[in-house]
Each structure stands twice: as C-alpha cells, then as structure tokens.
Structure 1
Amino acid sequence: MNMQHPRPAVRTTCPYCGVGCGVLATPDGAGGLSVAGDPRHPANKGRLCVKGSALGETTGLDGRLLAPQIDGQEAGWDQALDLVARRFSDTIARHGPDAVAFYVSGQLLTEDYYVANKLMKGFIGSANIDTNSRLCMASSVAGHRRAFGTDTVPGLYEDLEEADCVVLVGSNLAWCHPVLYQRLAAAREARGTRVVVIDPRRTATCDIADLHLALAPGSDATLFNLLLAEIERRGLVTESPESLAEALAAARATLPSATGLPHSTIRQFLDLWCGSERVVTVYSQGVNQSDSGTDKVNAILNCHLATGRIGRPGAGPFSVTGQPNAMGGREVGGLANMLACHLDIENAAHRDAVQGFWGSPRMADTPGLKAVDMFRAVEDGRIKALWIICTNPAVSMPEADRVARAIKGCDFVVVSDMIARTDTARLAHVLLPATGWGEKDGTVTNSERRISRQRRVLAPAGQARDDWRIIADVAARMGWGSAFAWDSPAQVFAEHAALSGVAVALGSDFDISDHAGITRQDYDALEPFLWPQSSRRKGGRFFGDGRFHTPSGKARMVPVVPRLPQPVSEAHPFRLNTGRVRDHWHTMTRTGLSPRLSRHLAEPFLELHPADAARLDLAPASLAEVSSPLGRAILRVLVTDRVAPGHPFAPIHWTGETAASGRIDVLVPGAADPVSGQPASKSAAVAIRPFKAAWYGFAVSTHPIRPACDYWATATLATGHQAELAGLAEPGDWAETACAMLGVAGEPLVVRDPRKGILRMAFMAEGRLEATLFIAPEPAALSRSHVVASLGSRCGGTILAGRPGADQADAGALVCACFGVGINTILQGIATQKLMTVDAIGKALGAGTNCGSCRPELKALLGQARSQPGRDAHDLAPLVAGE
C-alpha cells in the first residue's frame, strides 16, 4: 500500500502584510499544510495573526487557474508565450516601447519583480512598469527621497519596544499589522510605553492608546506643523538640516483650527511628543493615501529631523508597509520613476551603470506612467499591450469601473494570476497560471528592511509556473534569451545582489553585495537578514550618525503648507473613508477561501454615525446605496460612533466575484498626489440613501450559490457556502428561484407566513440539510451561526425555526477567528463564570490568546455586559461582531 507521510516543517514567510512574519509550514503528504509561527524569525518570534494562521486553509485547488488560456480556451504554454512575445514585439515595432506596459504587485517575490523591471526598463526600453504599491506606499517613498536623498526606512521593529512614546498616525495596527500591535502592546505592559493614536476613526488600535486624537480627516500635516512649531518654541531643535528655517516658518504660520481638535487635546499630544526623548512615529495608509500624502510624510519627518530623534534606539519615523514585498519591489525599481537598487532613472550616470551591468540594448531614460496615468493611457489607446501580474486593478484601482472598461478595450491584455476568475482575469486575452504562496520560491523584504526566504512547500498546481520564469521565457522569445537565462531564483537574487554593489559605488544606500556570489545551497539555507549586508556595513539603523544620502550629506526638511480636502457638495455630502478589515486581505482571492476568515465580517458594510443614520432613516443591518459621480455600491449598514458624523467608513475587500455591488473603489476618484502619484483613497465625496429592498434573505448551501438578485454577498463555509440577499421585487416562483440559486432540486420543506411576509425553505438530501433559504420583508432575524453549523446535519424541519432549541448551544457571531469563539459564548462566560477581564476571557475560553487582534472587541463586550446586564446576544443581524 502506498502510504503518504507528513514531511518536515519548511521555514518560509507569510504572504500578507509588510510585517514579514516567519512561518513553519508542514506538508501533510496529501497536498495540505499545517501552519505555525516560526519562533526563530526575528520579525514575529513565533506569533502569527489569524490570516497567517489560516494559510493552510487557502492552498487548495478551488478556483485555481491550472493551465494557460487564450480567449477563454485552454492552450499550451508554448502557444501562449509565443503569442505574448509576438504581440508585445509587434506593438513595440509599430508604436514604440511606450505603447506597452506592465502593472505588477507588492505580492510578487523580489526575484519576480527584478526580472519584470529588467525586461521593461532595460530591454523593451520603457519605464511603463508600475505596481499596486503605488496605491499604498508611494507617498512614503517620495517623502523619504525628499528628506533623506534615498528611499530608506531608518529604524527597526525593536524600536517599538525601546521607545518611551509611540505615535500611530493613520495606522490601524491592531487589524492591519497585528503582530507589530502585539509587540507594542507587550512593551506598553512591560515598560509603560505611552501610545498615541491619530486617526479620525476610533479603531481597534485605540484599545491601547493613552491618547486618541480624532482629528479632522486630512489635517495630519497641520498637526505635525503645530508640533514642529512647538519643538522650536521649547528649544528642542538640535540639528540643522537643509531648509530648516523655511520649514519652521511654514510651521509657525499654521493654524490649529483645521485639526478640529480641542486645544487641550493638542496640548496633551505636544507635551507627550516633546517630553519623550525616545519617540517612534509609525504611519501608514491614513497618511499615504492622500492627494497631499507626500507633504504629510515630510511634516512627520521634519519633527524627527529637527530634534535628531532618528536612527537611534527607540527613536525615528517608521513607515509600515501594507504588502508582503512592497519594500522588495522598491529595491528592484518596480515603481515607474525608479531604477533598480534605489538608483535614479533621471540620472544619466545611474542609467549608464545599470545598462552596462545588464548589457541591455536600450534603457528607459525618463519616468514611466504611474498607476492612475497608466490606466488612463490604456483607456485612450496610448498603451496597446498590457501585462498585469499578480494583482486585480479592476477592483483595487480608484475609478475601478473606468479602469475595468479601459482594460476591456485594450488591444491586447495578458494576466498572470493563480486564480482563474477575478474581475481583472475576466478581461484578459491571455491568462497565464502562476504559482501561489506555498509553491513559490524566492525572497521578500519586510517593513524594517529584513530580507527573508519564501520557500516552496507544495508542488505547483496544475501547469502553474513561477512569475520570474514566465517573464524570462517571454523575454527569450523576444530575442533576449542570454540576458534572462537563469536556472533558478538563486541566480536572479545573486545578480540583483551584484548590481547593488554597482549602485553603492554611485551613492545608493541599498547594498546586499555580500550575496553577489551566493550559491544555490546557500540561498536555500539563507537566514533572514537586514540590509545593508556587505563588507562595508551590516544591518542596523540608518542616519544615527547624522549622515544622509544627499549631495551635502545633510537631511533636507520640507516646508509644508497643509492642504485640506476640497469641501463636499450638497449632492455628495459625505466624505468616505476606506480601509481593511481584520480577517481579510486585499481582494480576498486567498483569504476568501478560508471559512473562518469569512465568519467575522461576511459582507461589505458601511460604518455610519448614529446621527447620520437617523437623518437618512437607515436602521442597523439595513442596506444603503452609496454613490459618487463615478459609480455606486450597496452596503450593509453598521451604525456606530466609531466614525464621526459625515465621515462613513467602508472596507476595500469585496469584488464582483463576492458581492453584487461591493467594489468600493468604483466610488473613489483618481485624484493623486502630484509628487508621489499615490491616489487619495480615503476622501471620496459620496451620497447615501436607503436601498429600499422589497425582501431580504439569508441562504446556505452545500453547493456554490449563484444569486440572481439586486443585492448579494457570498462567503465560504467549512461545509459549503452562504449568501446574504435582497431584491427590489419578489420572483414569481420562490421554489424555482431557490433551486436555481442554491444548486439543488426537489421539493423543499416550507414554512410560510403571508401576513408577515416570511418564507423559509429547507432542502434535504438523504436526511441531511443540503440548503436552506430564509426570506423576510426586513433583514432576516435568525441565528446565522446556528444555521451555518446545521448545514449537512440531520436537523430536519427544526432548522426552519432559524435558531437552536433550548437544549442547543448557539455560539453566535464570530469574535475570535483563531479559536472560533462566538459572541454568545463570550457573553455567557462573562455572565456565568464572572470573567471580568480580557485575560480572564482568554484563560477560560481561549479568545484573544493567539494573534490578539480580537482583544479590543473582547474589551468592548465586557463594557456592554457591565452596562447592559442580561442583554440578549442572539445573532439576529448580519453584523454583530464589529459592534
């Protein structure tokens, strides 16, 4: 008998956020994986968030692209690659190199990124290669380059644990970088580190804040200008960067009223920052995703540069990246306005050096089109051939409907992806199957400049190939085979490392030349390391010695004149903030495969202040139509004072594959920062009104659900699928509609109350629940957790009650995804076991003891239990856990 045995654990790296956590992935010998944190990895020291912990649930073949496709028909690799090479070559010959473009991703490995950048800039001869990192980190890159002369992150994660005060600006660390949040929370507990959160929205991160500044959206630069003026007033200016006097003059001219904060709150912040010798200012998308994001970054950097609080233990500005390899992409020149190894595309000496190293026939000599402009060039026909790699711009780009139309109208579109059906893949002429996490082999760089190996654990699915190999094979077919003749990612990495040695001689900060001669064996065994890594310098912080990468060797301060968002109009009176949720990642092509990651918040939603909800006549769990001049979305209403009046919030994750009208970026205009090109994703002017559905529904099925109604949102379950539903008109035959939608046949068990407008159906197969549908004139009131748990069981007609019997437990809506602990279980534990602290809940129930990102919700539930003893916590609405 052929026995399959588990193999040893493989040390690899998580593919989600920029924390860059080490992972131990253990194959089970049957195509599956178990996953744990790597205690030897310095970024996470064994911790993992819930997304990382669930990686083993996302490596199956469901939805995978398993073979190349041409115009929707399966094709061989040679046929597909020949076509791609021929169409790109013909387009370049007829229209020039700027008629083609690559749009790539911060989820590529560094080796993939390097090969794509080399092909486009050094061989095709255009800089029309940009990345979805433009949407998250471009303003930070531009701010770094203006201040430091290079795109250098000065500090290390350990600075969070050595600081006296940590300021989080536009960063929901608890949900977006949970492991860093846990490191900070532990430092606060152990050392008394003071924590300040600057965010218009009260996020989960505020749970550990000593001070929360709910400033007016867009006024970050105003606040940090006020801080710089206070630094001068207190005599704390200890350094003399370039443009110090001009920056101070701009700061002195700034008025505090734009922040919308009370004077006393501003004073508390100024006292904390100025009174703490070791300050780390962490900033993320709330700063970067703005049409003045670069100025906001420089307003933060100015305060650290003026005081010398940079490059020392526990002191410095810190940009935390949103993607696993946004930093690696920056290192190889993946942005349209950069060259490899942090060199400058507009510098002739830099271009000549790179061209000479590559031995390339031509070199791009001007910046290419940044993301927003790139897709506008696709729209107007300037770009005639487009290759999209490992990203989903028809969902994630601003003006997403316009971008989708542009892609659809392009002469020739190639999409490399691991998923067969995405909003973008549907628009491609050629689909190329790429390896995904667990199958890929290469390196990534995290937010603190630490390079780690992502190692292959599983065999590639179907005919999938690594992205670097696909790109190199196309390059060979275009006539440049000798320059792309690598046999392994180790050889690509070695070439990248050797080029960094050339770059350092030109003044670059990026240096990994120690690895220029790395062998395949050494590459396979490579331990995580900080760059720089060479005979000149190894790891550590930058700029503590006062030397920067500018011609003068001094830092440059930037005079910042704060620019606030344009006023909203009467037609679109709300300012929409967008962002992430705790358990999902980007457009859910990976996290959407995990049943437990969909149980926390299972549909797109709109956080709306109670005053706004009352004025608009929107009840909790009702549906809202949100519109801008660009598009429309329908979202579940979550009434909460976490957001300010007039400033609703919606998540970015839902796509045309997972919801009827949940693509938030259809609402967002393409306005971008003039320096960085980063779009303003958090300030769209929108209108909101009730979506007046005639009926609402909830369904589960052991088969894929195919809704045909005005509103739907689907999610994966362990035993099948679920859907939230709503429609403007009832179908003529509910039984026929239910069979088609739920993938079932036969006569259902039915409960109907025409007077109340309630209809409930259950379909059985061999005595087990195959599917069920609940219809009501209002959002369906039932225990969703009970219905989901009953799928596939012998529950009989009792399921139509929609809630468990008195003898059955109902866990309620999921709060702790790591251990599957529901809201009712927690509230019952609080009531019956007298659990009075978050730690007590963790000890008794396990909730909050792994990644910890649910601890703010546990704290909120404790508060609710104390203020509302005896509250019925049954899961009656689609959204409970977020409250």
Structure 2
Amino acid sequence: MEEQTAIKTTCPYCGVGCGVLAMLDEEGAAQIAGDPQHPANFGRLCSKGAALGETVDLEGRLLHPMVDGERASWEQALDTVAGRLRSIIDQHGPEAVAFYGSGQMLTEDYYVSNKLFKGFIGTPHVDTNSRLCMASAVVGHKRAFGSDTVPGNYADLESADLLIIAGANLAWCHPVLYQRVKAAKAERPDMRVVVIDPRRTDTCEIADLHLPLAPGTDVWLWNGLLSYLAVEGHTDYAFLEAHTEGFGAAIEAARASAPNVPAVAGQCDLPEADVLAFFRWFAATERTVSLYSQGVNQSSTGSDKVSSIINCHLLTGRIGRSGMGPFSITGQPNAMGGREVGGLANQLAAHMDYSAETVDRVRRFWQAPNLVSGPGNKAVDLFQAIERGEIRAVWIMATNPMVSLPDADRMRRALAGCELVVVSEAMACTDTTAVADVLLPAMAWGEKDGTVTNSERRISRQRPFLPPPGEAQPDWWALCKVALRLGFGDGFAYEKPAEIFREHAALSGFENNGSRDFDISALANLHDAGYEAMAPRQWPIRDGRDTGRLFADGGFFTESGKARLIPLTPRPPVNAPDTDYSLVLNTGRVRDHWHTMTRTGKSPRLSAHEVTPFLQMHPDDAARLDLGDGALARVHSHWGEALARVRLDDGQRPGSVFMPMHWNDQYALRGRVDAVVNPVTDPDSGEPEFKHTPVAVSPVEVAWQGFLLSREPLADPPACAWWAKARGNGFHRYELAGTESAEQMPDLARALLPGDGECLEMADPGRNVYRAARLVDGRLMGCLFMGAVTALPGRHWLAGLFTAEPVSTRNRMALLSGNPPPGQKDAGRNVCACFGVGENTIIEAIRKGCRTPEAVTRRCQAGGNCGSCVPEIRDLIGRHARPVNRRIA
C-alpha cells in the first residue's frame, strides 16, 4: 500500500485507538494496514484491525429509514421522530424522553446528542453503554483527583519496572498494547509483570506472578497492600503532606480490614507467599504502573476497587512521572471521548458536573433554554424506568442494548413496551432493531468523519474512505434535523463536523483558566483544513501544547488542590452463591470478536477461531456436574438462562465459570449471556456486576450434535434444539444439536439441505449417526454431519471443498467421511486469524522441530502479526513437541 494514496483513520474497536491506513484497490475492495506514524500502535494491528477490510460490505446494512416497519423517506422519518417526541414531551414532560448512546459514536455525534437532550429538550436521562465498562473508573478518578483524569500514557507501560495488570486480559482485549508491553519486557528482562485475575488468561504468558484471587476480593488485596506499605515504611510522606489529604483515615481503614499478609491471603484465597511477593515487589519498585480494566470496573464494588488501587499509588507518590501511576484502559474506541462531552448521565459537557456554577456556565455557553440542573438515570436504571412507564421515548444510537445490558430479557420486554423507540443503526437486523418503531440508517466505520479519543487521552481523526451507502447519514446530522423540527434550529445549524469540534474545544476552555482538566481550547479556532489534517494529539492542549502526563507537580482538581485517599471498608458481592446457584459466572470477550458481532461476524477469518458460545469450566466442576468437553450446557440464574458448549480449562478457577458476551439472537439460539447476568449495580458508578453472577449449570439432554456447512445461508434459523452460526470463506457454518431420533434424521436433513441436485447419504442408526451432502453440477452445495460429539469430524477440510469447483473424484469419495483422502492435508481449526493458519499446520511445524513460537512463525507465519495467538502456539508446543534425545557419553 502506498502511503500517499491511503487515508489515515482510526480503528473502531478497542480503546487502544490504533492508527489505520485505508484505501480501495482497483476492484473497490478495502485494503487495510497499520499507520506506522500513529503513536498508539506504530503500524501494528491486531487480528480484528487487520480484518477490517472484510467487514465493510453492504450485506445486512440498513440503507433506508423505516417507520413502523415500512420504508420511509428521511423527511417522513424525521417528522415522525420529532412529532412523537413533541407529543410525549407536551403530555408527560421532557423527563419522559431519554437518549442512550455508545462509545462507538464519534465525539462530534456525542456532543450534539448531549447538547440537544440535556440542553434544549431538557431531559437528564442521557447515558451510554460506556456506563457498562468504565463508569467505576470515572468515580475512582473523581474521588481521588477531583476530575476524570487518566494521568499517564502508553509509554509508561513500557518504561515501568513493575507492571500490574488487574482485571484485564490485555492479550485478547487490547492486543497491540499487549505486544508493546511484551516487547518492552523482552528488551528489559528485569521488568516484572503481575496479573491479578481469577482465571488464567493468555495475558499470563508474560506474567512473573499470577494472583488468581477469589472473585470480588480485590479491595481486600489492595487494602492489604496499603496496610503493608504503611507498616513497612514505604510511604512518601513529603508527597503525602504536600499533595494529598485523607491518608490517615485510609490507612486506618485498610489496617482494620486487611491487617497482614495471612489475613489477606485467607480472604482472597491466595498463597501467602504469592501475596507477600506482590507486596514486596510493589514496595521495592518506584516505577510501578497499575493497569486495570473491566475485571475491576464491572462490579457492584467497582468504584471502591479503583479507589483502592489509586490509594496505593498516592501513598507512595507514584503518579505523574514516567513509568508510574494508575492507568484505566477503556474498552471502546471512544469511551473517553464520550466522557469529554458529558455522555454520562451524571456529567455535563467538558468534564463539568452539576454544581450550580457549572450549570450556569454551560447554559450561558450553549444559550440553552432548558438545561437540566441535575443527573439523570444511569443505563440500567434508565431501562428500568422505561419498564415502569416513567420514560416513554428513547433514542438509541450505535449500540445493541438488548444484548449488552444485564438481565437482558427483562430489558427487551421493557423496550418492547415503550411508546417510542428510535434506533440509529448501520445494520438492519439486530436484537435492538427488532423492537424499534423508527430506524434511521447510520454511517459505519469507513464512512464516518470526526474524532475519537483513546485511553491515553489522545484525540485522533476518523476519516472516511468509503462513500455512504443508500441513504445513510451521519448521526450528528440526524440529531440536528430533529432539533430543527423541535424548534431548536439556531443551536444546531452545523454543516460539517469541524464546526462541532470547534465548539466542543471552545467549551472546554470557556471560563476554565486551568481549573478543569479537560481543556483543548487551543483547537477552538482550528480551520477546516487544519481539522482535516489534524495529527493525533493528547490533551490538555492549551496554547498549542500537548501534555503527555498530568500531576507531575500535584495540581489536582479538587477544591484544595490535593488528591484524596479514600478510606475503604471492603464489601462482598451483593449476591453470593448458594446451594441452588453454586457457581460464579464471569463474562468477557474473546480474541477475535467485538461486542455483539455486527462487524466482526462478517469476517470469515475472525469467525473461524470461536464459532459457538462456550462455557469455560474447571475440569473438576465439569466432572461433578457430569459434563464433558463439548457437551451442551444450560447456564441459568435468578434472572435468565443461556446455552453454550462446555470447554474444559484448568486455568479456570474452580467454582467459577466464564462465558463470552458476543453471541446474540442473530448468531446463536439462547446465546446471550447477559440474559443471565445479575443486574445489581455499583451504588456510586451505576456500573453492573458483569463479573459475579451466581449460576447453576446443567447438561442439556440432546440425542445428537452436529454441523451443517452450506453455500447459501438458511432462510430461517435451524429448527433444532440449539444452533449457532458463523461466516466461512464461501460458505455458512451452523453448529447444531437436536433431539431427533435416527429415524427422523433424514427428514431433518431434507429441511437443512433443500434443493435439487445429487444427494449423498450415510446412516448408521445403531450409533445414531447420519451424514449427507448435496452437490449440483459437481459443486458442493452443503453437507450435514449428525452424531455424538466424539464421532464428528473436523470442519476445516470440508470447508475447503466450497472453493473447489467441481469437487474432485477423490474428494467426493472421502466427502462423507469428513476427512481428506490420503496425501491431502487438513489445516485444522484456525488458530492464527491474521494469516489464517490452522492448528494442524502449526502442529506439523512443531513436529518438524519448531520448539519456540518464533520458530513456528518463521515456518508458517502463525503468530507473526498481532501475536494474540502466541500463547495458544506455546501451548501446542508443550503438547506436541517431541522430547529431545540426549546421547549419554
């Protein structure tokens, strides 16, 4: 790719905020590469970023407005939205209206939505799905610093001598940042890494110490560290006296709850020696960074967990300097940008809160006639208010809450009963669009124009390289058009995103004078060409200067100017396991998928690694419940249930199970794990308890499991007891399970393999096995395999037959066996998504003498791009490398 012809833009996935070079080739296909000049990634991309070109097709796109299930013009749709909003406001008041946004929105879209709903419509009920991932970090920051400030930058992770990764599977969720850390550790072998996580994840590959603490015991661990530091004399009293307050009470509370190493080890269910090692390493290492994410935030005590981490850094003065500090890593590409513009219900714009002074300031700046004076409902409360009928209209933008909210079935029922549901969405069919009254076609990544802010406070441009399809429009445009119809046109006369950005920048500096952390006022007069060409910048940006890190000389944003240490009394999770629900469910992400799969589900290579929702269990728990590897299981709680295939993993903590969050009604039957999740929230942040739901797990009785590979997608979901689907290269894959007897299998096959052509069949009723394939003019149209899990062949050689035209005689003869004929190789289950390298190819390389991941990469490329698959490659080496024969002299 020639850089001069490429568009510099930003990856739409995680909070790392990688720079991307995008262009269209001669055939109109998107070509994607990492931007070597972007300071977040320096040219690296993870498997998801590298596959972005596979996700920009128009299949499944929402291309036209829809009103009450019928296609409409934009004029009709906008008139409908404005008219129904006005009717509800006139009858029930502005607080009967709500807006629910997303960290997928660009900052300009976020700014306009916040201004319209809080400032002009006059409803405080404006929140975002970022509430579900980083609201606890916001509370922790504001408690300690008086502002929602991430003080450091990514370079601190590389220069730290001790990196603590708490509640973050960096290898899978922020792969490019993980590779930067891994490279730094390789260059400086004395650098230590501690991973604090109840389960052993791939991030533990670089860990010198893994602390698999009992779920929900984080505050005991960090309080114990605070107590140890105070008792052993590892406090920076000069810093404490000059720049903090409250340290005495914080130390007293820590000593009361976690007085010594044995007490902490007992509470956290950890070996005393490991706890002591962690405490000693922290005490002895000045350049320490504590990186934390959803495992800390997503908890009914998430705010206290964040405060407990920050306390330890303030006690030792380890903040504001190179290689040290607490560091919150966000999950979404613009979660930080949403916080900047006030996308959370408890914030106004530009990091301002709801004090009388700031309300007056924002009202004057916006000339907003109806600016709200207090916070509104946070995400879970907002949808519960919809259920109660208090909120009668909601506009949902760039998110799929019917999959991502806890207690999701209840939330779906609430939204289905809402008087007006407006959804701005790029995809036509999601769990949320199914309950919408008005659908507005939005631009997707590749078409949008604006800015995003990553986890190190770096603002980057997102630039379009694709034309908008159909009638898709920018989200800010749709908001402005509705504002015009509601009579607020003067405040929303924007014609381009640069105008919105300049106003956003001007508000950040309005009556600021250094009193607020968020300040990009130097960009308030940025002309259009400067906006278009803007390079990545870290805020604050005052007088044209970026600030890489904050608090080097104190200067906190509390009233006293001093940081606050918070006294903490640990609290157990709100709902504890009992005899009926004895396991603890933890939810999270997988390596190659993103949120609810509306984008990554389009990519065959991203879909190849994890095809079905799975339930990760320790082998001892599975044996106790009579569940084998690959068995179909029901996971149920007080709130709902989900179905998943069991995956045995001794890195999973006994007594706990893990299930990924991505699957939904488009990709699996009852695969939405958030239907199971405990809806309790942190009382301060409103963030839900995604990491601690008491559940029961039981086998699902089925007569068979199987799979269908089909050149054409099924018109309707399979009529089976369970199914999950994924996109393949030239085919569609369905994993299946059912209750049909051997005699009923041919009838089911005819439903799953319809059409003319030649049908091949093989049945063994005694073993309850049935296999069939359909060919037309020698081309494989579909194949179906049914039987016991242990009797099923691999899918990968069969998948390759869909690119063969026609199927050769040798392959045809082997077709119903599911295995390649002699002399052909089966690459096996996809391991490396970046290069499409299968498990069997890697095993072959290992058996030929590759004993390190680097050697495997040299032979077959696997692991040579983002490195996310390297821990899996290392595991394969451990299982398949032949022992070295040593000759004894």
TM-score normalized with structure 2 length:
0.96
How much does 1:728 deviate? 2.5
Q: Name the structure 2 match of 1:657.
A: 666
Which of 853, 861, 864 is matched with 2:876 structurally? 861
1:208 corresponds to 2:206: yes
Q: Name the structure 2 match of 1:555.
A: 563
What do residues 386-409 of structure 1 show as CA deviations (whole Å, max 9, x unaligned)? 111010010000000000111101
Q: Distance in 2 between matches of 1:290 and 1:868?
A: 45
Q: Distance in 1 between matches of 2:267 and 2:799?
A: 48
Q: Name the structure 2 match of 1:357.
A: 365
Say if 1:371 and 1:862 are closer, same or farther in 2 by CA, change over 3 A: same
Q: Distance in 2 between matches of 1:546 and 1:587?
A: 41
Alpha carbons 1:6, 1:29 under 8 Å: kept = no
How much does 1:742 deviate? 4.4
Q: State the one-letter code of the partner of 2:250.
A: A
Of stretches 225-234 and 733-742 in structure 1, the one that deviates more from structure 2 is 733-742
How much does 1:845 deviate? 1.1
Say if 1:630 and 1:273 are closer, same or farther in 2 by CA, change over 3 A: same
Which of 760, 782, 797 is matched with 1:786 structurally? 797
Q: State the one-letter code of the partner of 2:850.
A: L
Q: State the one-letter code of the partner of 2:463.
A: R
Q: Name the structure 2 match of 1:874.
A: none
Q: Name the structure 2 match of 1:770.
A: 781
What does 1:39-78 correspond to in 2, within 5 Å? 39-78=36-75
Q: Distance in 1 between matches of 2:331 and 2:752?
A: 37
Q: Name the structure 2 match of 1:880.
A: none
Say if 1:827 and 1:228 are closer, same or farther in 2 by CA, change over 3 A: same
Q: Distance in 1 between matches of 2:513 and 2:544?
A: 11
1:626 corresponds to 2:635: yes
What is the identity percentage for the equivalent residue pairs of Structure 1 and Structure 2?
A: 53
- Secondary structure in 2 matching 1:456: coil
- Secondary structure in 2 matching 1:543: coil
Say if 1:30 and 1:431 are closer, same or farther in 2 by CA, change over 3 A: farther
Q: Distance in 1 between matches of 2:683 and 2:104?
A: 25
Q: Name the structure 2 match of 1:728.
A: 739
1:244 corresponds to 2:247: yes
- Secondary structure in 2 matching 1:748: strand
Say if 1:7 and 1:421 are closer, same or farther in 2 by CA, change over 3 A: farther
- Secondary structure in 1 matching 2:410: helix
Say if 1:780 and 1:517 are closer, same or farther in 2 by CA, change over 3 A: farther
Q: Name the structure 2 match of 1:301.
A: 310
1:443 corresponds to 2:451: yes
How much does 1:791 deviate? 2.0
Q: State the one-letter code of the partner of 2:270.
A: L
Say if 1:813 and 1:507 are closer, same or farther in 2 by CA, change over 3 A: same
Which of 649, 672, 675 is matched with 1:666 structurally? 675
What do residues 372-424 of structure 1 show as CA deviations (whole Å, max 9, x unaligned)? 10000010100101111010010000000000111101011011100000000
What do residues 796-843 of structure 1 show as CA deviations (whole Å, max 9, x unaligned)? 2421111111211111111111111111111111112x0011111111
Alpha carbons 1:7, 1:26 under 8 Å: kept = no
Q: Name the structure 2 match of 1:875.
A: none
Which of 374, 397, 422 is matched with 2:382 structurally? 374
Q: Name the structure 2 match of 1:828.
A: 844
Q: State the one-letter code of the partner of 2:843.
A: L
Say if 1:6 and 1:140 are closer, same or farther in 2 by CA, change over 3 A: closer
Q: Distance in 2 between matches of 1:96 and 1:635?
A: 44
Q: State the one-letter code of the partner of 1:231.
A: L
How much does 1:731 deviate? 8.9
1:755 corresponds to 2:770: no
Alpha carbons 2:537, 2:546 under 8 Å: kept = no
Q: State the one-letter code of the partner of 1:82.
A: D
What does 1:9-28 correspond to in 2, within 5 Å? 9-28=6-25
How much does 1:607 deviate? 0.5
Say if 1:709 and 1:463 are closer, same or farther in 2 by CA, change over 3 A: same
Q: Distance in 2 between matches of 1:747 and 1:840?
A: 46
Q: State the one-letter code of the partner of 1:802.
A: G
Alpha carbons 2:753, 2:774 under 8 Å: kept = no
Q: State the one-letter code of the partner of 1:800.
A: L
- Secondary structure in 2 matching 1:122: helix
Alpha carbons 2:741, 2:768 under 8 Å: kept = no
How much does 1:868 deviate? 9.0
Q: Distance in 2 between matches of 1:335 and 1:178?
A: 27
Which of 833, 843, 849 is matched with 1:817 structurally? 833
Q: Name the structure 2 match of 1:231.
A: 229
Q: State the one-letter code of the partner of 1:314.
A: G
Q: Distance in 1 between matches of 2:232 and 2:188?
A: 27
- Secondary structure in 2 matching 1:452: strand
Q: Name the structure 1 match of 2:524.
A: 516
1:218 corresponds to 2:221: no
Q: State the one-letter code of the partner of 1:281.
A: S
How much does 1:733 deviate? 5.1
Q: Distance in 2 between matches of 1:115 and 1:744?
A: 51
What do residues 576-606 of structure 1 show as CA deviations (whole Å, max 9, x unaligned)? 0110000000000000000000111111000
How much does 1:349 deviate? 1.0
Q: State the one-letter code of the partner of 1:207.
A: E
Q: Name the structure 2 match of 1:801.
A: 817
How much does 1:738 deviate? 3.1
Alpha carbons 1:704, 1:743 under 8 Å: kept = no
Q: Distance in 1 between matches of 2:578 and 2:207?
A: 34
Q: State the one-letter code of the partner of 1:218.
A: G
Q: Name the structure 1 match of 2:350.
A: 341
- Secondary structure in 1 matching 2:642: strand
Q: Name the structure 2 match of 1:873.
A: none
Alpha carbons 1:731, 1:737 under 8 Å: kept = no
How much does 1:153 deviate? 0.3
1:531 corresponds to 2:546: no
The alignment covers a number of residue pairs equal to 864
Alpha carbons 1:612, 1:646 under 8 Å: kept = yes
Alpha carbons 1:68, 1:77 under 8 Å: kept = yes
What do residues 482-537 of structure 1 show as CA deviations (whole Å, max 9, x unaligned)? 11111100000000001011152482110111111111111110100000111185
Q: Distance in 2 between matches of 1:572 and 1:148?
A: 40
Alpha carbons 2:742, 2:769 under 8 Å: kept = no
Q: State the one-letter code of the partner of 1:468.
A: W
Q: Distance in 2 between matches of 1:779 and 1:275?
A: 52
Q: Distance in 1 between matches of 2:87 and 2:26?
A: 46
Alpha carbons 1:696, 1:780 under 8 Å: kept = no
Which of 78, 93, 96 is matched with 1:96 structurally? 93
TM-score normalized with structure 1 length:
0.96
Which of 838, 845, 852 is matched with 2:860 structurally? 845
Q: Name the structure 1 match of 2:726.
A: 715
Q: Distance in 2 between matches of 1:844 and 1:113?
A: 47
Q: Name the structure 2 match of 1:696.
A: 705
Q: State the one-letter code of the partner of 2:119.
A: G
Q: Distance in 1 between matches of 2:92 and 2:758?
A: 62
Q: Which runs of 5+ in 2 are unaligned?
A: none
Alpha carbons 2:619, 2:650 under 8 Å: kept = yes
Q: Name the structure 2 match of 1:330.
A: 339
Say if 1:719 and 1:868 are closer, same or farther in 2 by CA, change over 3 A: farther
Alpha carbons 1:25, 1:36 under 8 Å: kept = yes
Alpha carbons 1:283, 1:318 under 8 Å: kept = yes
What do residues 835-856 of structure 1 show as CA deviations (whole Å, max 9, x unaligned)? 0111111111111110001111
- Secondary structure in 2 matching 1:471: helix
How much does 1:71 deviate? 1.6
Q: State the one-letter code of the partner of 1:60.
A: D
Q: Distance in 1 between matches of 2:70 and 2:424?
A: 15
What does 1:384-399 correspond to in 2, within 5 Å? 384-399=392-407
Alpha carbons 1:574, 1:646 under 8 Å: kept = yes
Q: Name the structure 2 match of 1:132.
A: 129
How much does 1:727 deviate? 1.2
Q: State the one-letter code of the partner of 2:494.
A: W
Q: Distance in 2 between matches of 1:557 and 1:831?
A: 55
Alpha carbons 1:749, 1:797 under 8 Å: kept = no
Alpha carbons 1:503, 1:510 under 8 Å: kept = no
- Secondary structure in 1 matching 2:147: coil
Which of 100, 107, 110 is matched with 1:110 structurally? 107
- Secondary structure in 1 matching 2:486: helix
What do residues 647-701 of structure 1 show as CA deviations (whole Å, max 9, x unaligned)? 0111000000000011000001210000000000011111011111112111100
What do residues 296-345 of structure 1 show as CA deviations (whole Å, max 9, x unaligned)? 00000000011110010000000000000000000000000001000012
